[in-house]
Amino acid sequence: MPHTNRRVFLKQYREGMPSPEDFGIEDSEITDVPAGQVVVKVDKLSMDAWIRTTLTPGSFHETAGLGATIRALGVGQVVESASDALAVGEWVYGLLSAQTHALLPAAGLTKLDLSNSLQPRDFVGPLGVTTGLTAWVGLIAVAEVQAGDLVLVSGAAGAVGSMVVQLAKARGARVIGIAGGPDKCRYLIETLGADVAIDYKNADVAAEVARAAPAGINVFFDNVGGEILDIALENLAPAGGRVAICGAISQYSDMDNVRGPAKYLRLAERNASMKGFVVSHHAARFPEAKAEIAALMRDGKITLPEHLVEGIDHFAEALLLLFAGGHTGNMLVQP
């Protein structure tokens, strides 16, 4: 049967932050499903910072070609199948991209296990690769958080940051979250259980971090980079601090002039370490991560509020809103 697909594609490259006119929208028909492939009706797309890096030539994620559908991870339901691996009606996760219907090889999709009361949206939420699993890998596999640690999290009110705060608290750590604006800071304290919230828009972040961590930071989970990374390095504990570099959303708009850490010598002075990570390199530990997160969800110790943008036509504005900090928790697009 034919399926009408509405997709968002890249019309032109731009230096700096993209604008709505850089994106196009068009309809097409899926009339043939080759052997081994399936048609997936897209249900939710995860709005992640890495998408921005695909829109600039030479970025560290594969650059999108002009005319190409904007890449995004999501969940959806199989509506037509020419594969023995996936049946019509099954739910899947994968690189579904900014469209209403995705024609993809079944081998590139992950069938969702919806047992134990899990919902498809959980796999672009607390159990998502770019949300909960990224938080778990950075905090636990990379930074090796321990009970009693003092953890600093930048971008703490976003999807990954929200998960880091809660996972750290569940592991017995004390948490300082950095976010923009009083509403987000209240969210960190009242909803996520952070011990301290610092408003980078209205406070002296360096002074507030020093005040909240007089003995130093044991773990810094960095989603932002730039000045905040230097503040964290300046406030590392005297020995054994760990910095996990997840992302640098403050730098993605000018990748030719990325600001590196000026305070990197603190790593040597304080016998500390700083390590970047790509979540997919830790796939062997995903079952462990999923088990811990799912247990915390069942116990009511993990929550991840959604900021839902409806309509594939609003994908571009949702992406720009992500970088403007106009959301709290997990931003999703529902085509």
Same domain, yes or no, for 194 and 244?
Answer: yes
pLDDT at residue 252, as a whole number: 55
Backbone angles phi, psi at 45, to 5 degrees: -115, 135
Write the CATH number for 79.
Answer: 3.90.180.10
106, pLDDT greater than 80: yes
Q: Mean pLDDT across the stretch 71-87?
A: 98
100, pLDDT greater than 80: yes
- Residue 96 maps to a domain: yes
224, pLDDT greater than 90: no
Q: Which of 110-124, 191-205, 252-266, 297-311 has the lowest mean pLDDT?
A: 252-266
Same domain, yes or no, for 121 and 135?
Answer: no
pLDDT at residue 249, as a whole number: 58
Rounded Cα–Cα distance for residues 177 and 168 (Å): 11
Q: 3-state class of 317 per DSSP?
A: helix
Instruction: Say what the pTM is.
Output: 0.91
Domain count across the chain:
2
Find tokens 């640690």 and name the residue: 149
Q: Mean pLDDT across the stretch 227-237?
A: 96
Same domain, yes or no, for 98 and 183?
Answer: no
Q: How much of the chain, in percent, has pLDDT values that exceed 70?
A: 95
pLDDT at residue 55, as a whole number: 85
Same domain, yes or no, for 33 and 92?
Answer: yes
pLDDT at residue 240, as a whole number: 96
Same domain, yes or no, for 114 and 254?
Answer: no
Same domain, yes or no, for 260 and 172?
Answer: yes
- Residue 268 maps to a domain: yes
pLDDT at residue 49, as a whole number: 84
Q: How confident is the model at residue 61 (pLDDT cuts 50, 70, 90)?
A: low
pLDDT at residue 255, as a whole number: 55
Same domain, yes or no, for 265 and 218?
Answer: yes
Q: How confident is the model at residue 1 (pLDDT cuts 50, 70, 90)?
A: confident
Sign of CA dihedral 52, 42, 131, 192: positive
Q: How confident is the model over 248-302, as pLDDT tens digits?
A: 655 555 556 667 788 999 999 999 999 999 999 999 999 999 999 999 999 999 9
pLDDT at residue 60, as a whole number: 59
pLDDT at residue 254, as a whole number: 58
- Residue 300 maps to a domain: no
Q: Which of 180-194, 198-212, 232-246, 249-263 has the lowest mean pLDDT?
A: 249-263
Q: Mean pLDDT across the stretch 133-150?
A: 98
How many residues does the structure list for the chain? 335
- State the residue range of the domain holding 25: 3-125+305-334
Burial of 66 (0-12, 13-18, 19+ CB in 10 A): exposed
Backbone angles phi, psi at 273, to 5 degrees: -135, 150
Q: Mean pLDDT across the stretch 122-139?
A: 97
Tokens of 124: 């672009």
In whole angstroms, what separates CA 134 from the centre of its chain? 7
- Residue 172 maps to a domain: yes
- Residue 319 maps to a domain: yes
pLDDT at residue 279, as a whole number: 95
Mean pLDDT taken over the chain: 93
- Residue 204 maps to a domain: yes
**Who contacts 67 (Cβ-Cβ below 8 Å, separation ≥6)?**
9, 10, 11
Q: Mean pLDDT across the stretch 37-46?
A: 98
- Residue 276 maps to a domain: yes
pLDDT at residue 64, as a whole number: 80
Q: Mean pLDDT across the stretch 308-312?
A: 97
- Residue 170 maps to a domain: yes
Same domain, yes or no, for 121 and 133?
Answer: no
Nearest to 221 by CA among 296, 169, 262: 169
Q: Mean pLDDT across the stretch 107-114?
A: 96
Write the CATH number for 176.
Answer: 3.40.50.720
Same domain, yes or no, for 63 and 76?
Answer: yes
Same domain, yes or no, for 224 and 275?
Answer: yes
Same domain, yes or no, for 260 and 317?
Answer: no
Same domain, yes or no, for 186 and 260?
Answer: yes
Rounded Cα–Cα distance for residues 98 and 202 (Å): 35
pLDDT at residue 231, as a whole number: 97
